[in-house]
Amino acid sequence: MEGIIESIKKCIEFGKIDENSPFPPDMKGEKGADELTAEALENGITPGEILNQGLIKGMEIVGQKFSEHKIFVPQMLMSAKAMDRAMSHMKIYFNDGSLTRKGTFVMGTVFGDLHDIGKNLVTMMIEGNGWEVVDLGVDVSSETFIQKINEHPNCIVGLSALLTTTMVNMEKVVNAIKGCSPDTKIIIGGAPVNEEFSIKIGADAYSPDPQGAVKYLEKMVA
> What would the pLDDT profile of 9-61 be if each residue is shown by its tens digit?
999 999 999 999 999 999 999 999 999 999 999 999 999 999 999 999 999 99
The pLDDT of residue 169 is 98
pTM of the predicted protein model: 0.87
Question: Distance between CA 119 and CA 129 in Å, rounded?
Answer: 16
Fold of the CATH domain 2-95: 1.10.1240
Q: Which residues of the chain have pLDDT under 70?
A: 1
How many helices, marked H, and strands, marked E, lie in the chain?
Answer: 11, 5
CB-CB contact of 162 with 115 (8 Å): yes
| Residue 104, C-beta contacts closer than 8 angstroms, at least 6 positions apart | 131, 132, 133, 134, 152, 154, 155, 156
Nearest to 83 by CA among 21, 25, 8, 30: 8
Question: Distance between CA 157 and CA 173 in Å, rounded?
Answer: 11
Compute CA distances 107 → 84, 104, 126, 140, whole Å. 18, 10, 10, 9
DSSP 111-124: TT----HHHHHHHH
For the chain, the domains span 2-95, 104-221
Exposure class string for 158-177: b at 16+ Cβ within 10 A, else e: bbbbbbeebbebbbebbeeb
The pLDDT of residue 96 is 87
3-state secondary structure 80-111: HHHHHHHHCCCHHHHHCCCCCCCCEEEEEEEC
The pLDDT of residue 159 is 98
Nearest to 198 by CA among 213, 180, 211: 213
DSSP strand E in the chain: where?
104-109, 132-135, 156-160, 186-189, 205-206
Residue 107 φ then ψ, to 5°: -130, 140
The hierarchical CATH code for the domain 104-221 is: 3.40.50.280
The pLDDT of residue 1 is 62
Nearest to 21 by CA among 9, 35, 40, 41: 35
CA R_g for the chain: 18
